[in-house]
Structure formats: C-alpha cells, structure tokens
Structure 1
Amino acid sequence: MLQVIALGGLGEIGLNMMVFETQDQILVVDAGLMFPEDYMLGVDLVLPDFSYLRPRKNQIRGIILTHGHEDHTGALPYLLPEISVPVFGTRLTLGLVREKLQEFNLHGKAELIEAAPGQTLELGPFRVELIATSHSIADGVGLAIQTPAGTVIHTGDFKLDPTPVDGRRMDLNAFARYGDQGVLALLSDSTNVEQEGYTPSEREVGRALDEVFHNAPARIIVAAFSSNIHRVQQVLDTAAQFGRKVIIHGRSMESNTRIASELGYLRLPANLIAGLDQLDQIPEDRLVVLTTGSQGEPLSALARMARDEHKQVRIKRGDTVVLSSKFIPGHEKAIHNLINELCRRGAEVIHEKVSEIHVSGHASQEELKLMIGLVRPQYFVPIHGEYRHLVRHIRLARQMGIPAENCFLAEDGDIISFDEEGGFLAGRIPTGRILVDGKGVGDVGDRVLRERRILGEDGVVVATVLVDQASRALQGEICLESRGFIFEEESQTLLQAAKDHLAEALANLPPERRASVDALREEIRITLRRFFKKAIFRRPEVVPVVVEI
C-alpha cells in the first residue's frame, strides 16, 4: 500500500509539504513555509505541523526539494534540528538552502546531497527520477516517484516556457515516457488554473524592460523577487544593452545574486556592477538600482526609499520605479500604499497592472491539460493551491477524460491510499499550522491571535480591585486604565459609570464567589465587557487585577 499525505499546500498558497509512505518507509517532498495572512497579527512565518513525522523520523529516507522557493524550502531550518535526514536537491536549490541554514547556525549540520535533472535516486522502496521543469526560479524539477504500488508524478511548480532565459527547456519527453509506461497518479500544480490559455514566456518581460529602459529619462529602480534569477538576468542584460551601471541592493538580492553567479546560473556582464557607495558618481541616466520590496514589505529597501527613510537613495521626480512581480493576494493594500508614496515623490511607477513587466511562473489551463495528456494518469490529485484552485483543476482533469471517482479533492491531512483495489481516501491525520513569532515557534495560537485582534480593534482596559483578605470586602476605589480604547481625559463620565456598575456587581456577588480570586477576575471581565458593549458598542480586552490586602 502507498499512502500520500499533504502536511501543507492543499488548500493554501505556500506551506508545500508532501509525505509518501510505503512499506513503513517515508519520503518527504518539499518543506515550505507560508507568509502570514492578514488576521495573523504579529506573526512572522507559518510552518506545516511536523507532528506526524516526529515519531516516524527513523522511517524517513530523505527530503527531496523540487526548487528553491521558500514556500517549498523555508521550513527546513525548523525541521532539520528535530529530524536529521538527508536533503536532496539541484545545485541552485541547495545553494539557496545552504545560505538559509547558515542564518540559523545550521551550516555543516545538515546532509545536503546534490542531484541533477535526469538522475535517479534509490531511497529504500522509492526510486525517484528528477525531471527538468520551467518555473520562475532556475533549476526546478518535477519528480517521478516509483513505488511498489505504481508510479506517482509530482510536477512541482511548473510552466511550459518554449523560450526560457537560460535555454533549459522542460523535459516533456520524460513526462511522456512515464505516461507510456503507465502512471498511477498525477499530482499537479494548481496555482494558475483559473488562467485561460498559456502562460507567456519569461522572455516577454525582456521586451517590456527594453521599452522601460528606452523611455526612462533618469534613474531606474527595479524591484523583483531575489529568487527569480531569470528576471535578474534580464534586468542585468538590458542594463548592459543600454549602457547603464547596476547597483544590487538589499540583503536577499545581494545574497541570491552572489550564489547564482558563483554556481554559474547568473551571468554578470563585465564592468556592469557598481557599489552603493558609487551612487553619486554615476550619471542618473546611466544608473539602475536592483532591489527587493515589490510586495510593499515595510522594512524593505524600496519601502524605506518611498518613505524617504533610506540613507543613500531618495526617490525624486524623474525616477522610474519598476515593480517586476505579481501582486500577491493579501499584499495588495501594502503595494498600493507603496505605489502612492512613490508617486507622491514624483516617480513614474510601472507594474503588472499597466505593463507586461511580469509573467507568472505557473502553468495556465492549456499547459495543465497538456501535462494531463502527456502523463495519462489513472488517478489525479490537484496540489499547490487554495480550495477553489483544486476544484477548478479537477474540473479540467475530468474534461481530459479522467473519471470523477479517480479525482481526489484532498486537503491538508487527508490520507490518499493506493492498494491492489485502487485508490481511495482513507481518513485523516491531525495537522495544522505552526506560527512563528520572533524566536517563538508554536507558542502563538488561536487564542493569542484573537486577543491581538481585539486589542487592535477595541483596545484594552485594565481593572484593578483591592479586596480585604479576611472580609472579602472591596477596599478603596476601583481603578480603570485603558490603552487604544478611549481618551480617558474626555471620557471620565463613562469610566466613572463603569466603576460604579462594577462595584455594584461585585458587592452583589455571593460570599463563596468573592472568596475566589479567579471568580472575582472572571466577574470583572464579564461585567465590564458587557457594560462597554451596551454603553458604546465596543468590546475591549479586559485585564482584571485583584490585589488582596
């Protein structure tokens, strides 16, 4: 029997992590993170729940990474200290992972094993071939996972790019070869399933960049994802073509371009790169600044430029700012605020809504149909997408002739099993999301998020009550202090009414409840929240403090 379980990536964008289990042996594909959603106040990162793997760590034969994006690799620094297993990936993927592990002081402590497209790995009952794919990062692969139950194809993130920037085309012949041999199940990327037709080639961005560089009267500031090495290459090539120097700025951009250059994935034209200390020495119509911050991240270099808080680069009239990336759902407000600030300082801002300055790295409908047609699987499982994406992808698979009963609409934690009788959903395992806040991992849950939301929306009231330890009678006046709730100086009447109401409620408590500090705290909290809701339609977080004297 083969069991396939998603610990993340089925029902959300990001958090990608799949478990394959047969003959008491486990293979893990990817270990990604997700950036927090709007309601996750104060949270830095979201990780898959590793609980299923911890008691089975001795059964894990390895982790195979499909590519170097953080939504497929970012959980490794949190997983590997607990579960030390070999990690397999292509050269660039492991180069980026190695840099990330170094940030966590894990350099040299993880077993990273390089594998190339076309290579086959023997991992216990799993025989896995890496298949070259095209994506918005170089060196991505899909996987042909051969098991005793049959072959499973995992596409990874992919698109069919006929004219890739690095000349490395997707190995469609390998997918077709497995289709001819017989494929048990296809697990296919669903991210862009709502987009009709074909995803444009990355080279289309180069044409848009040509137009931008041709028309720009002064400095050009390009913000892009630092992992999109093909995009970085096109910016560098276009800058060289127009005789401009390039300043690479931002920690991740500097790091990733260095790694890609050292590993041979990025070509740096001679005499092209300049340092930030040369900013004032280069004529403005001969300068490009390549940086990060295209999603409006508040601490990014571009955001600091937009707020006029950057020490070296100040946005001014005549500057052309290019946001060469997708508006990621959930980041729209931050991006729009960034664009407004840049425009306010006189910059011309070019982004995907007004120019072909970005193309997706994911397959659109016709490419997804082609993948199904090449592989011709017996069973189909859409992966990497929100629930609506998975539903739409199944609809596409049924159009391609796969029976409805052979399409599995699974979510994180669902167990997809294959045995001699066929494929079926075989229950669930407990799973969820682990929130990272600063150095705390997993110590923030729903209750903390709910309290943070209340604090953000209605503020906090601290109520201090003095109680005689012997008689349990109230002593002195109740003290109410608030933050983010009301102007205390202008609301003394309301606060005094709240104190009087609370004093009356506590005086009427039965003696046995007044004897309990916990009961007093609960009465204070409930009474004040009800009072404020009735009086001004607000429900602040109430922090009761009971002092026995």
Structure 2
Amino acid sequence: MPHKINDDDNELVLLPLGGAGEIGMNFNAYGFGPDDDRKWIIVDCGVLFGREGATPGVDLIMPDISFLAERRDDVLGIIATHAHEDHIGAIALLWPMLKCPVYATPFTARLIEGKLDEAELIGKAKLKVVPPHGKLSLGPFEIELVSITHSIPEPNAIAIKTPLGTVVHTGDWKIDPDPVVGKKADIGRFKALGDEGVLALVCDSTNALVKGRSGSEAEVKKHLTELIGTIKGRIAVTAFASNVARLDTIAKAAKMHKRHVVLVGRAMHKIVQAAKETGYLQDFPPTIDFEDAEDIAPHKVLYLCTGSQGEPRAALPRIASGEHAVKLGPGDTVIFSSRVIPGNELPIFELHNKLATIGVEVLSTEDHFVHVSGHPARDELTEMYRWVRPKIAVPVHGETRHLHAHAALAKSLQVPQVVTIENGQMLKLAPGKASVIDETPSGRIHLDGTVLVAEGLGLARKRRALGFAGMIAITLVLDEKNRVAADPGIILEGMPEPVHEAVRTAVDKALDRHNPRKNDEGDLRESVRRAARRAAEDAWGKKPVTRVEVVTV
C-alpha cells in the first residue's frame, strides 16, 4: 500500500552503520514508513583496511549489517556515490546478506562489476547503471544524482526525496573549479534544491578542521609537470590509484619530458583500464611493462606505483624492501603525490626511511605542491550550506573531532538544528525536531583470509596477545588412574631462552605436587597452566598465552 503524505505513522530515518565517527567504511541506510513497516535504501557500502598492529591477519573491515539483513525484503537497493573502496569495497562481500539491486554510474559500476566477478556473483547480483545526473524511483524514495567533484571520476551527491522532505547526502566531495578529468560540480542544481527546500544535509566532514579551500587538480598538474622535468634519474610516483585525474597528469608529464610510463601495481592497471572503458583517459600515453623498462636509460623511465599509504603488499613498499622486480637506488627519486591518511603515519614514514636507506630521494607535500585533497575545507562547506540551506545538518564521514568541528561550523551558519550521531544510532529526520529514536547493534565484520568473521569473536585480540608475549603449549600424559605417565611436552613460541628453563622447572614442580587421588584432570590442568604462566611472568615480566591439554593412556 503506498505511503501517504498525511500518514502520521510514517517516519524518515537515517541509520549509519559505518562512517560516523571514523574515516572509511561508509554505510548509511535511509528508512521511510512506520516503525514496523519501513522500506530502506542504502547509500554506499564500504570497507576499512585492517592494520597489522590493531587487527593482525585481517584484510578488510566492514559493518555488521545484521539489522538490515533481517529485513532484506524491505531493502530496495544500494546506491553508490562513487568508486572509492571505503564506499564500494564491501558490496560484493555483503550483497549475499541483502540480495538487493545495486545502482551506480558507469565508471563506478565498472569497478563494482569487477568485484562481483571476483566473488562469482555476476548474473546473481543485479547491477544497474544510472547515467550521470540520473534519477530513479525506489518505493517511497525519489532519487536524483547530482554531479560534484572529488578525487575520482563520477562522484555524486544524492538528493533523496520523500513525502516527508528531501535529504541531500553529499558523499565525498570538494569544489574544484578546474578538474582535470570529469565535469565541474553542478552548483546550479544544488542551489535549485535549496530553493525547493531541503530537510537535511548529510555531509562529508573529513576536512572540517582545515581552513580555506582544498585546491584544484589543475594546480597540481602544473607543479607536478614542472617538478618531473627537473629530475635526472628514475622517477617513481606513488598516488591513490583511484585518482584518475592524477594518473592522467603524471602520465602526460612523463610524456612531455620524454619518459616512458610503467604502471606498477594491480590497482593501477585496473583503474586505468576501467577509466578507458568508460570514456576517460582516451589520450592516456602508451605504457610499457617493467621488464622492458630495465633496458631503458634511467632518465627516460617513470614508474607509477601503488603503495602511497605504506600498504605492505602494494608495489612501492615491496620495491623499497627489495622484494619487487622493479629496482630503485642512488640517483632515483620517489614522489609521494598523496596525503597521509590519519592512522597511516607509521607505515608511511617507515617506507620513507627504507627508500632513504637504499639511496632514493623522497619528495612529498612537505617539499612540493604535489597533492590536493578530495574533500571540502571550511570555505567549501560554507558554500554548500549557503546553496542548500538545510533545516538539519548531520555531519558524517569523519572522526569525532571532525564531526564536532563540522557541527560547530554549521551552527555558526545558523542551520536551525545540528545533530552529530554515531554508528548504530537511528536518527528521525523531522523539521525542527531531529532526534535519536533507537540504538541498533553496529558491530564490525572482519575478512580474515577468505572467511567473514564477527569482530566479537576476538580473533584479532587473541593474535595481538600472541604477538605481544608468545604462547606456551603444554601436553600432559596421565594413565587411567590419573597418575602422570610421561614427561610433559612443552612448546614455547616467541619468548627468550631464559624463560624456557623457568617454565619447565615450574611445570615439573606442579606435576610433583599432583595427588592423583585428590586432584582430578581439570585441577591438574589449571595448576600447571597457572604455574607456567606465573614462571614466565617472573622471569620475563610478560604473561604469555598458555594452553594445557591432557592425554589419557
């Protein structure tokens, strides 16, 4: 039965399950209808990348969407704002829980298609291509894509129109007056939406602490081209592979200075191919394989590499460690045409040090104008609010400090109501009285190897414990009368030699105290475990993970 405008039971709600209070893993669900009969759409379905120190062994982190999976018959679709991994990286992994159509513009759809293909979901998942500026109807939602600029082709804000009002969800954006690839932001349409009336603006907060403007790709093009012309040896430039405009700039600068371009890293090849197939990079200079580059003079080669964030399996970190076929050394230069994403400082600086150790000169934003952000600084945020004039401001896509700075800015611009929310908080959007009406479980799911596991299982926590203090594994052998029948088997991993003798002595003493008539198998197991762990702590100051197994013969 269609929803009626005057139906007092209908509500419009926003439920972020990722991206509120963090940068990455964006997942926002919008619901319309009464509490017991809502229809849902999902805007973006992204991932975070695991970090070895915090989540050892975990490749990807994504939101726990159990709440929506239980209501999947009412989930009408996933709409992708653009093709960054923190917005589309979980689609193929989580789609089997939802089984709803996926909507995206051509470039974004091409990259999603590749993910669905790898997951063997082609022909199962319905991927529907929406043209730029396109519109679609999903139940009570009328959806319009509004072009904006960002650091990837075809970024879109989404105007979500419902009988209770219009929400403008910006996705990632900036205002680039001179984009190298793609069109300018459709400022006229944002202003028109403001004239029509906007209930809420759900907006990117990444650079809410940054004064001024984010800058233009055209300026980066000018400076990078000049810089590349001043370097004599081999050049390796690392950038976000998804920044097609930057790849285009670097490749054309190489061509201008008579260098051959070598793409290094799987993501570089995938993005360039997808861009060409969807009408971008049509005049991208020819590239050569890195094997062929070995026979070319150093001053005629430019490597375009993945790994700007120090990701251990990406191309540049492997080059720096001597684990890649591409070799760099004294006289060569690496340009980091990228920002340091918060949390990645250590691996990036370690990468800088490794490159310096092998004699490579490292250039970055600290030395030259080689990068601009893809997110709006404060002046751009101010412009967006003046165009759209929302009744409610909802900062998202940022850590807590970014959300608070964004909220303070929105209040200073006289937005009637400003609400900051966390993942799992369901926000009712209503004029003058937006409020949190429910708390929904908002855990995380880890891609651990090839298996999806709930964060609550604690596997990463256990691995951190193993990494900190190692493990003691003890096997005890008892006879049928509960007597010790053989010497214990003791394995100690990841601890210095003096600890070994202390643990063995403690285990032997615990076994000597064992009374087969008074102590059962469980008592023995626990007394030996405590003795071994206490001995390790006394000898070393750390408490290893300790496991004891009993075998009866």
TM-score bin, normalised by smaller chain: over 0.9
- State the Cα deviation string for residues 167-188 of structure 1 (Å, max 9, x = none): 5111122111111111111100
Task: Decide whether the 8 Å contact of 1:196 with 1:365 is kept in 2.
Answer: yes
Give the deviation of 1:476 after TM superposition: 3.8
Whichever residue aligns with residue 420 of structure 2, its letter is L
Q: Equivalent residue of 1:52, what SS?
A: helix
Query: Is residue 284 from structure 1 mapped to residue 298 from structure 2 by the alignment?
Result: yes
Question: What is the correspondence of 1:94-493 to structure 2 with a 5 Å cutoff?
Answer: 94-166=109-181, 168-269=183-284, 272-311=286-325, 313-403=326-416, 406-419=417-430, 422-442=433-453, 445=456, 447-470=458-481, 472-487=482-497, 490-491=498-499, 493=501
Whichever residue aligns with residue 243 of structure 1, its letter is K
Whichever residue aligns with residue 191 of structure 2, its letter is A
| Correspondence for 2:17 | 7
Q: Distance in 1 between matches of 2:250 and 2:27?
A: 32
Q: Distance in 2 between matches of 1:420 and 1:145?
A: 16
Give the deviation of 1:284 after TM superposition: 2.1
Q: Equivalent residue of 1:63, what SS?
A: strand
CA distance 1:353–1:502, change in 2 (3 Å): farther
Q: Distance in 2 between matches of 1:451 and 1:505?
A: 31
Task: Decide whether the 8 Å contact of 2:419 with 2:434 is kept in 1.
Answer: no
The TM-score, its normalising length taken from structure 1, stands at 0.93
Between stretches 248-257 and 103-112, larger displacement belongs to: 103-112
Give the deviation of 1:443 after TM superposition: 5.4
Q: Equivalent residue of 2:429, what SS?
A: strand
Q: Distance in 1 between matches of 2:485 and 2:407?
A: 68
CA distance 1:461–1:221, change in 2 (3 Å): same
CA RMSD of aligned residues (A): 2.0
The percent of aligned pairs where both chains have the same amino acid is: 37
Task: Decide whether the 8 Å contact of 1:505 with 1:527 is kept in 2.
Answer: no
Give the deviation of 1:114 after TM superposition: 1.4
Task: Decide whether the 8 Å contact of 1:160 with 1:363 is kept in 2.
Answer: yes
- State the Cα deviation string for residues 66-115 of structure 1 (Å, max 9, x = none): 00001000111112223221111111110111112222222233211111
Q: Equivalent residue of 2:71, what SS?
A: helix
Task: Decide whether the 8 Å contact of 2:315 with 2:324 is kept in 1.
Answer: yes
| Correspondence for 1:546 | 550
Q: Distance in 1 between matches of 2:14 and 2:512?
A: 61
Give the deviation of 1:218 after TM superposition: 2.1
Query: Is residue 497 from structure 1 mapped to residue 502 from structure 2 by the alignment?
Result: no
Whichever residue aligns with residue 297 of structure 1, its letter is E
- State the Cα deviation string for residues 443-483 of structure 1 (Å, max 9, x = none): 5645322221111111111122222332x233344443201
Q: Distance in 2 between matches of 1:186 and 1:501?
A: 68
Q: Distance in 2 between matches of 1:400 and 1:419?
A: 20
Task: Decide whether the 8 Å contact of 1:33 with 1:72 is kept in 2.
Answer: yes
Q: Distance in 1 between matches of 2:546 and 2:284?
A: 62
Give the deviation of 1:351 after TM superposition: 1.5
Whichever residue aligns with residue 505 of structure 2, its letter is A
Q: Distance in 2 between matches of 1:261 and 1:188?
A: 30
Q: Distance in 2 between matches of 1:230 and 1:177?
A: 29
Whichever residue aligns with residue 533 of structure 1, its letter is E
| Correspondence for 2:520 | 515
CA distance 1:421–1:156, change in 2 (3 Å): closer
Q: Distance in 1 between matches of 2:427 and 2:455?
A: 30
CA distance 1:501–1:193, change in 2 (3 Å): farther
Give the deviation of 1:43 after TM superposition: 0.6
Question: What is the correspondence of 1:39-78 to structure 2 with a 5 Å cutoff?
Answer: 39-78=54-93
Q: Say which of 529, 534, 540 aligns to 1:530.
A: 534
Q: Distance in 2 between matches of 1:327 and 1:504?
A: 58
Between stretches 251-260 and 346-355, larger displacement belongs to: 346-355
Task: Decide whether the 8 Å contact of 2:248 with 2:284 is kept in 1.
Answer: no
Give the deviation of 1:492 after TM superposition: 5.6
CA distance 1:401–1:465, change in 2 (3 Å): same
Give the deviation of 1:238 after TM superposition: 1.1
Give the deviation of 1:235 after TM superposition: 0.7
Give the deviation of 1:194 after TM superposition: 1.3
Task: Decide whether the 8 Å contact of 2:146 with 2:189 is kept in 1.
Answer: yes
Give the deviation of 1:495 after TM superposition: 2.8
Between stretches 420-429 and 73-82, larger displacement belongs to: 420-429
Whichever residue aligns with residue 416 of structure 1, its letter is L
Aligned length: 538
Q: Distance in 1 between matches of 2:29 and 2:339?
A: 30
Between stretches 43-52 and 272-281, larger displacement belongs to: 272-281
Q: Equivalent residue of 1:530, what SS?
A: helix
Task: Decide whether the 8 Å contact of 1:208 with 1:356 is kept in 2.
Answer: yes
Q: Distance in 2 between matches of 1:426 and 1:187?
A: 18
Structure 1: unaligned runs, 5 residues or longer: none
Q: Equivalent residue of 1:442, what SS?
A: strand
Give the deviation of 1:133 after TM superposition: 0.7
CA distance 1:477–1:347, change in 2 (3 Å): same
- State the Cα deviation string for residues 230-278 of structure 1 (Å, max 9, x = none): 11011112112222221122211111101101211113345x3223332
Q: Distance in 2 between matches of 1:143 and 1:337?
A: 39
Q: Distance in 2 between matches of 1:510 and 1:363?
A: 74
Task: Decide whether the 8 Å contact of 1:233 with 1:267 is kept in 2.
Answer: no
Task: Decide whether the 8 Å contact of 2:474 with 2:490 is kept in 1.
Answer: yes
The TM-score, its normalising length taken from structure 2, stands at 0.93
CA distance 1:443–1:397, change in 2 (3 Å): closer
Q: Distance in 2 between matches of 1:129 and 1:248?
A: 36
CA distance 1:422–1:148, change in 2 (3 Å): farther
Q: Distance in 1 between matches of 2:367 and 2:30?
A: 43
Whichever residue aligns with residue 124 of structure 2, its letter is K
